[in-house]
Structure 1
Amino acid sequence: MIALSLSDISRAVNGALHLTDASSATDLVDGSVQTDSRLSEPGSIFVAKFGAVTDGHLFAPDASGRGAVLLIVEHLLDLPVTQIVVADSVAALGALAAAVVARVRAVGNLKVVAVTGSNGKTTTKNLLRSMLERVGPTVAPRGSFNNQVGAPMTMLEVTFETRFLVIEMGASSEGAIANLVRLVRPDIGIVLIVGLAHAGEFGDLDATVRAKSEMVTDLLETDVAVLNADDPRVAQMAAITPARIVRFGEYGQADVRASDLNSGRTGTTFTLHLASGQSATVEFRVLGEHHVMNALAAAAAAEVLGVSLGDIVAALQATTRAERWRMEVLGGKDDITVINDAYNASPDSMSAALKTLAQIGTPGRRTIAVLGEMAELGELAGDEHDRIGLLAVRLNISQMIVVGPAARRMHISTINEGSWDGESAYVDTPDEAFDLVRRSVNPGDTVLVKSSNSAGLRFLGDRLGDLFS
């Protein structure tokens, strides 16, 4: 974190400062900010927050012992370390992050890009970071830091030398993105797609649209909204934002678009057309044609920020995977390919992964889909799992292995289709799935492992990748 005095921090978080005998309100703090005491280090700040299963205040002694010089807490602790007592530690974390970003913007040339969407946020963020790093110092989230804790943690990493800040914004309820937008005030807001991911939390698709629209409603006339022209729900957001619109897509009147797509086992080749009229061929090695849309979104934002076509193309061609456990290509022994895409799953991303599997399978060899639960779909879960099972049949996937009771309807729907005879198997555990794949896989086969994070199949994908490497 940039150096701030204890009194500055206290004012930023609207808290009560409690000094030790050895501290002063003018003392500067410039260490990292942590919510995990195990990551605390000399000079750091520890924010004690209440979690789903524990209370961060219980770990404040550990943070202090590791060198934290300031605790942000919701009640005063009997510890010999400076503390700021606040009403809500998570809100205080956001307020501190907002103050840091505002101070950096006041004296520097910082530009902020925020990304949201039901799918593709992390991939787009990673691609955009790669593009922007070629121009200047860039801060972007580690992993999927995209909620009311993760986004402020990323914001706190900016310095006076930072030129670009990329923020990934997820939401579990209406109002969450709006709150993050108010904290960081993006110069560019990207909306990728509105789908059924987390539909169980939002309640219905209309609520999801409203939540994602929060990305653009509070943008200024001087800001830019980057919108997916191919998704009608996203495209209509142009009517509710005062910002300048830049559209991306493969169809219609997109400002930034792709043409001449040719997908295969090594990625997708396409022609990238920028809003400026420039174009170039891109050999994009991230597996799955659906990731081209993420590339277009990143390219659209990068062009607005002055990144050259050459740097945009170079960044895209240097990227070989979307992220750990996202369409990650493993294996290779006996020409067996394992695609580990089990970090997250929604009906949209599951469909895209199955279509990719069908598209890249080696002629004359089998395609095997190992599928687990799509979580957080609420009352839509049954119908959506049925739909994925039917899609696997219609794509002529050679073998489907469904893992876990929550995903069993995919198996039932495939066998009820009547066009298969033994091509779908059901197992209760990832270990059983591993044994089944190990016994049945043949040279040249392609294996997809896909599920929500909670199903734990990403580790099964790693095991299979190791087995066939």
Structure 2
Amino acid sequence: MNASTYPQTAHGTLVSKALPAAQQAGGIDVAATSCTDSVDSIRPGDVFVVCDSSADTHAVAKEAVRRGASAIVTERFVPVFGVPQYVVDDARAAYSELCHAILGNPSRELNAVAIAGTHGKTSIAMLLDSILNIAKKSVATATNQFTRIEGQRGRFVLPTTAPAIADFVDEALAEGCRHAVVELSEETLHTKAAHAAQFDVVCLANLHADRNSGRSPHASRQNMISALDQLTPQGMAVLNADDAESMRVLAEYDGPVLTFGLHHPAEITGSVLEQHANEQTFLLTIGDESAAVRTKIIGETHVANCLAAAAIAKVYGVSLADIARGIERVTVVPGVMHRFDAGLGVPVFVDRGATPIARGAALTAARGVARGRVIAVVGQQCSVTQALADHAVTTGGFADDKVITDAVAKVLAALEVTQTEHLRTITEKLTGIALAIMAAKDGDVVLVSGLDSSTPRQRHASTSVCESQLIQALMYELAAEQKKAA
């Protein structure tokens, strides 16, 4: 962690003050102004925290001292001399505490919001960011898709490491923001990267087990629930009344809670009034106030995310009118039922949700607006797709088999992609979309489900391939071909 990045002069702290429960051995107390958990990135004066439990602690600590570390933080004493050691129960938690303490614990100066859960986090954060901006409340928001400060794109920092989270909230404070919204993935919570941050609102969007985490369903849920431990004493938990696991948490939780839901009793409720291929309208009810809200993003899952954002906004006293305006201003959430059209007469939706629940929700939303078939474009068939789609196009092997339409070839010709694997994935995806569109008839809907050919950093790099632009370009090419054939 380069703790002097934001602000330009770090506050600094005595290690003993940042880690009061640590047992100090050898040397005098160290004043820390920077720290790291990577031995390869140590600069002279850094405090080195041994977070990798699989590493040879003695060897990495010895190398850290050789590279100029001013102190070692570890879970067990090691025979390394010349610098003080601080022995702690949990090195990863200590690393987070040290990162925040060096910067003066900036989260304590902000109205900080954490959003956790299996899916929907980015959508809720994006909606909340819009609502708070409409309400004239200065806000900085960090997700795995974007970073915004006062509504403007900021320095992109993936909020998954202790220094990244500490730097983000410190930057928000330095820029004059009073609110900070942070998306916390299950992995981030597991590694305790946000352990030292304090939140006055924690929203659990849902608690479905993350099958991709490599942990048991119980362990996965417990990681997400642990976000509640970081609430301030008067902090508010925001829970999904439609999620059975969240309601089990509610039964055992004794702090302030605000609930939201479409199908079960809750403080913040909603119901879909109309749904079309290009928009839907739902009734948002908060207490004895109601408002009809129109959104360009379809599906009940998006309505649930709107309710979650509304609940958080209500904690901060935002009016129903501003909540509705903030929701309506969000016309696209990249990868969340993102609609494309180019006069082809076939609505094409792209939803990156890859879990069975997320895929099922996307297919159900597509079914709600289809007058004909639902055609799914997927990487491989699964039981959810077989049950809910009328036809599926699987993309695996297209590039190898050279199944590339003229429209796809024209789009690819304009690309400057040198990474072979990335190009292959893009080719497969565009080919699958093209074949699905060409097979579609009037009234059909095409859903591209669970496919994502870019990483967060690729999406935000200046030289990255903008996937949405590729899909739109493909549809323009297909429309041109259709026009020529007519």
The structure 2 residue matched to 1:222, chosen from 215, 234, 251, is 234
In the other structure, the counterpart of 2:300 is 289
The structure 2 residue matched to 1:392, chosen from 384, 388, 392, is 388
Secondary structure in structure 2 of the residue aligned to 1:441 = helix
Cα distance in structure 1, aligned partners of 2:98 and 2:47: 11
Q: 1:84 to 1:282 in 2, by over 3 A?
A: farther
Q: 1:441 to 1:162 in 2, by over 3 A?
A: closer
Q: 1:250 to 1:345 in 2, by over 3 A?
A: same
Q: 1:132 to 1:97 in 2, by over 3 A?
A: farther
Report deviation, 1:243.
Answer: 1.4
In the other structure, the counterpart of 2:53 is none
Q: Normalized against structure 1, the TM-score is what?
A: 0.69
In the other structure, the counterpart of 1:370 is 377
The CA deviation string for residues 286-311 of structure 1, in whole angstroms up to 9 with x for no partner, is: 23221111110110111111111111
Report deviation, 1:85.
Answer: 5.6
Deviates more, 1:120-129 or 1:93-102: 93-102
In the other structure, the counterpart of 2:197 is 184
Cα distance in structure 1, aligned partners of 2:9 and 2:469: 43
Q: 1:4 to 1:96 in 2, by over 3 A?
A: farther
Q: 1:7 to 1:441 in 2, by over 3 A?
A: closer
Report deviation, 1:325.
Answer: 2.6
- Establish whether residue 169 from structure 1 lines up as the match of residue 184 from structure 2: yes
Q: Is the Cα contact below 8 Å between 1:2 and 1:158 reproduced in 2?
A: no
Cα distance in structure 2, aligned partners of 1:387 and 1:340: 19
Q: 1:459 to 1:390 in 2, by over 3 A?
A: farther
In the other structure, the counterpart of 2:166 is 152
Q: State how 1:65-464 maps to structure 2 within 5 Å.
A: 75=64, 87=73, 94-99=96-101, 103-104=105-106, 108=109, 110-133=110-133, 134-144=135-145, 145-149=158-162, 150-159=164-173, 161-172=176-187, 175-176=190-191, 179=192, 182-198=195-211, 200-204=213-217, 206-217=218-229, 219=231, 222-275=234-287, 277-322=288-333, 324-342=334-352, 344-361=353-370, 363-364=371-372, 366-372=373-379, 386-393=382-389, 397=390, 399-404=391-396, 431-432=427-428, 434-435=430-431, 437-439=433-435, 441-442=437-438, 446-451=445-450, 453=452, 463-464=470-471
Identity %: 22
Q: 1:301 to 1:97 in 2, by over 3 A?
A: farther
Secondary structure in structure 2 of the residue aligned to 1:213 = helix
Cα distance in structure 1, aligned partners of 2:299 and 2:14: 45
Q: Is the Cα contact below 8 Å between 1:216 and 1:241 reproduced in 2?
A: no
2:255 partner amino acid: A
Q: Which runs of 5+ in 1 are unaligned?
A: 17-24, 30-44, 61-68, 374-384, 406-427
2:331 partner amino acid: T
Q: Is the Cα contact below 8 Å between 1:331 and 1:464 reproduced in 2?
A: no
Q: Is the Cα contact below 8 Å between 2:366 and 2:445 reproduced in 1?
A: yes
Q: 1:128 to 1:460 in 2, by over 3 A?
A: closer
Deviates more, 1:439-448 or 1:207-216: 439-448
Query: Aligned-residue CA RMSD in angstroms?
Result: 3.8
Q: 1:218 to 1:71 in 2, by over 3 A?
A: closer
Q: Is the Cα contact below 8 Å between 2:436 and 2:446 reproduced in 1?
A: no
Q: Normalized against structure 2, the TM-score is what?
A: 0.67
Report deviation, 1:137.
Answer: 1.5
Cα distance in structure 2, aligned partners of 1:360 and 1:287: 9
Cα distance in structure 2, aligned partners of 1:327 and 1:118: 17
Cα distance in structure 2, aligned partners of 1:236 and 1:139: 32
Number of residue equivalences:
380
Q: Is the Cα contact below 8 Å between 1:434 and 1:460 reproduced in 2?
A: no
